[in-house]
Structure 1
Amino acid sequence: MSLTLEDEDPSSQLRASLLESITRSLSSRRPLLTHLNADTTWLLSIPYPSTNPSLRNRTFYHILIDPWLKGGQSDVAAFFSQQWHATPSSVQTITEVEDVIRRMEFTAKGKEKADMGVAESLEEGQGDVIVVDNHGLQEKQEGNVIDLVVVSHEFTDHMHKETLLEIPKTVPVLATVKAAGIIKSWKHFHVVGEVPRFSGDWRKCPHKTLPEWLDVSRVAKPGMDLLYYHSAIMIAFPKGYEGEGEAVIYTPHGITPADLAPVAEANPKIHTLALLHGLQDISLPRAQLNKGAHNGLKAQRLLGAKYWIGTHDELKKGGGIVSYFLRRKHITLKDAIEKEKEEHGEKLKGSDLETMKDVRFEDLTNGESLLLE
């Protein structure tokens, strides 16, 4: 479960939440999801498979998603649309993100050595990072604390240039097509790849920058949404059964549930561990922006996600012309379930109704960490 520490600033809450989550993760070897701001910047830390030799030096593979830590963001022009975080992010710089990751690894390594009965003095931050490539070769690197950056859209609340340029050049970036083109034009990162469309088999990821056990792909219906605004990023990894995987599906603006059918019908099977989808319905007079809780509930039911986690729901400080036309509906999970009952009436009986009762919605606030069990 997530932790809420009242009367704590976000950075203090982050430290306390991580300590609890890391301790539990080590005993269960499960992923950790950390909300780094109140909006849609996430750190997903996936334990290395126990057979991976890099486990001797790293416990988790750390993926930074849509980093925007401080400062404003503007699309088109400031007079048209500009936004700022309403509350400070739990981490203000990429250096602080790296410090969080080092603390996680230090805590994990200390716990592992204690479990083995090894009496050894460790200093936080000590030691090199060992990277194991697809050929099994080991290379020492100093500074690649973040393993991967994923950018879901070219809009600057997801592709925030000032934050991204703080990240070391050697960290690989995977981004959707338009975002990748823009990021490449900055000539900062050594590796910028495009997130491929999900092929139906999570084990066939074409990116050599990723470990062979990890897949990052885009779920979207071709040709229907030119901007792929309503799409999803899927991060998949082994579940433990032969060939089967589990996934975290991140859709900050929401996705039409039918477009998720390739995931629900995948072979080998994909178990959706967590669906990151917001509650708030946000629109302009002629455009649906964030699809909100009603859509999220339908997506959750289709996928059978173990966790539904809110994202991109921060009520930001805004300015520009667009702010006058923006329409925001505050919808709760209860509201969404009640509407489902009204729409489907007698059809919602038995297993469907029981499934709705079992929905585990987590609203991770700024600085909270959740163990995905």
Structure 2
Amino acid sequence: MVAGADQPDAHNDSVIALEDRAAWRAALASPRPVIAHLNADTTWLLQLPVPGSVTTSSRSRSKTKSKAPERSRFNILIDPWLQGPQSDVASWFSTQWHVVAPTVQNMQELDEVLVMLEEGDPLNDPNESKTPATSYIDCVVISHEFTDHCHQATLVELPKSVPVVATEKAADLIRSWAHFDTVITTPGFSASTPDWQQVLVDHTGALPPWLGIGRVITEGNALYYHSAVMIAFDLGYSPNQRATRSRDNAPQGQSEAIIYSPHGIKGSDLECLNTAGIKTLALLHGLHNVRIWMTAQLNLGALNGIQAVRASGARYWIATHDEAKRGGGFISWLLQRTTYSLRDVVEADKAKDTGDADGDSADYKFLELGSGDGLVLS
């Protein structure tokens, strides 16, 4: 069953208020990943602990110079959109604005916060810049080419040296801006993939060897909109003795993944994770069912999310992409939204348990993190 079923909401004592910098720093003292919601929609910061066995020399060989020896966290920014509107096709067709203010106003502010979290209190000299010489944002992940995920005005605030990992259409779009030095197209991961490190790891050195970023795909399935980005990592990685990850010999508790699916993904598409011996730590999947009248299904919503979290075996289900943004343009008149709450999820999950012939029950924690909330993924 979903944890916290008797609670009226999904906000509990484990949630960190990011404005409390001391609490955020305390969370980063944990040996586990920390995830932070930077707006009320679908901009996230994933802070992975750098494996303790990674040596100074192995880190210095990376093209990403920000991963200096003293760094304890590798910071992954996901689908950043902070200020201003987002518009697809044309402003008259579809334009949206945030309703809830983001946690940070721009990329420079985020970088300054990351410096403070990593290095401690700001320097005593108020005239000295707090902006780091090299960005503490180690890479950016883009899930879709649509501007609420791939927001040019926000992205170009980043230094050119920050690597970007994006799905195919988004990667082509970002390359056309001629801003970033490194743009990597996400490789595919499916049931036929024997080892995520063989397929997902960027062997050019732009990203560390204990991290892989790709897209979950299903053979014969050409759907792109309802897909998922997979961020796989091995916190027990050793540069001198690489563990073999196969279906028959997968080291327990080492290969983990965050599955990010802002529009939703069918549960059957995620079954490959378990067969590959990967522990799904968290699934980011929305609650709201969003569609265009008589035309297209956009966000699959909570009822699909229950199937997806069960299939993935995720420890956490975290809601995403559910901000009811202020909309304008032609499409805004056709958008239909069915909202679901935690209580709705709990009731639907109970019904699913009752209907299961095998009697198996899913065991995961569901949370809704607002803008400015964070969580240690234990």
TM-score band, normalised by the shorter chain? 0.7 to 0.9
Pick closer, same or farther for the CA change 1:289–1:338 going to 2, 3 Å. Answer: same
Indicate the residue corresponding to 2:53 in structure 1. Answer: 51
The reply to whether residue 14 of structure 1 matches residue 14 of structure 2 is no
Deviations 1:295-337 (A, max 9, x none): 1111111122111101000010000111111110011233234
Cα separation, 2, equivalents of 1:332 and 1:349: 27
Q: Is the 8 A contact 1:128 1:142 kept in 2?
A: no
Count residues with an aligned counterpart: 333
Deviation at 1:79, TM superposition (A): 0.8
Counterpart of 2:35?
A: 33
Structure-1 residue corresponding to 2:280: 272
- Within 1, Cα distance between the matches of 2:357 and 2:235? 30
Shift of 1:221: 2.2
1:22, CA displacement in angstroms? 3.0
The TM-score normalised by the length of structure 2 is 0.81
Preserved CA contact (<8 Å) 2:51 2:236: no
Q: Which whole-Å CA distance do the structure 2 matches of 1:146 and 1:347 have between them?
A: 44
Matched, 1:188 2:175: no
What does residue range 52-201 of structure 1 map to in structure 2 within 5 Å?
A: 52-54=54-56, 56-107=69-120, 142-198=133-189, 199-201=193-195
Aligned mate of 1:3, from 15, 20, 25: 15
Equivalents in 2 of 1:170, 1:47: separation in Å? 21
Distance of aligned partners of 1:314 and 1:51 in 2 relative to their CA distance in 1, 3 Å threshold? same
The answer to whether the 8 Å contact 1:252/1:312 transfers is yes
Q: Which residue pairs with 2:376 in the alignment?
A: 371
Query: Take 1:320 and 1:217, find their aligned partners in 2: how far apart are those partners?
Result: 33
**Structure 1, 342-351 or 362-371: larger mean CA deviation:** 342-351
Structure 1: tracts of 5 or more residues without a match: 5-12, 111-120, 130-140
| Residue 289 (structure 2) pairs with residue 296 (structure 1) | no
Amino acid at match of 1:202: W
Letter of the 1:203 counterpart: Q
1:215–1:236 Cα contact (<8 Å) kept = yes
- Residues 84 and 248 (structure 1 numbering): CA distance in 2 closer, same or farther, change over 3 Å? same
Q: Distance in 2 between matches of 1:184 and 1:21?
A: 34
Q: State the distance in 2 between where 1:70 and 1:127 align.
A: 23
Q: So what's the TM-score if we normalise by structure 1?
A: 0.82
Q: Secondary structure at the match of 2:197?
A: coil
Match for 2:78: what amino acid?
I
Tell me whether 1:254 sits opposite 2:264 in the alignment.
yes
**Post-superposition CA distance 1:30-84 (Å, at most 9, x none):** 1110111000001101010001124741000010110000100000111111000
Question: Which has the larger share of helix?
Answer: 1
Q: Bigger CA drift: 238-247 or 211-220?
A: 238-247
1:229 aligned partner: 225
Alignment of 1:314-329 (within 5 A): 314-329=323-338
Aligned to 1:218: 215
**SS of 1:369 mapped into structure 2:** strand
CA-atom RMSD in angstroms: 2.6
Over 3 Å counting, the alpha-carbon distance change for 1:340 and 1:30 in structure 2 is closer
Q: Structure 2: which amino acid aligns with 1:106? A: E
Matches of 1:39 and 1:82, distance apart in 2: 15
* Percent identity of paired positions between Structure 1 and Structure 2: 46
Verify the 8 A CA contact 1:176 1:194 in the aligned structure 2: yes
Q: Which residue of 2 aligns with 1:138?
A: none
Amino acid at match of 2:22: L
2-side partners of 1:90 and 1:315: how far apart?
A: 17
Amino acid in structure 2 at the alignment position of 1:218: R
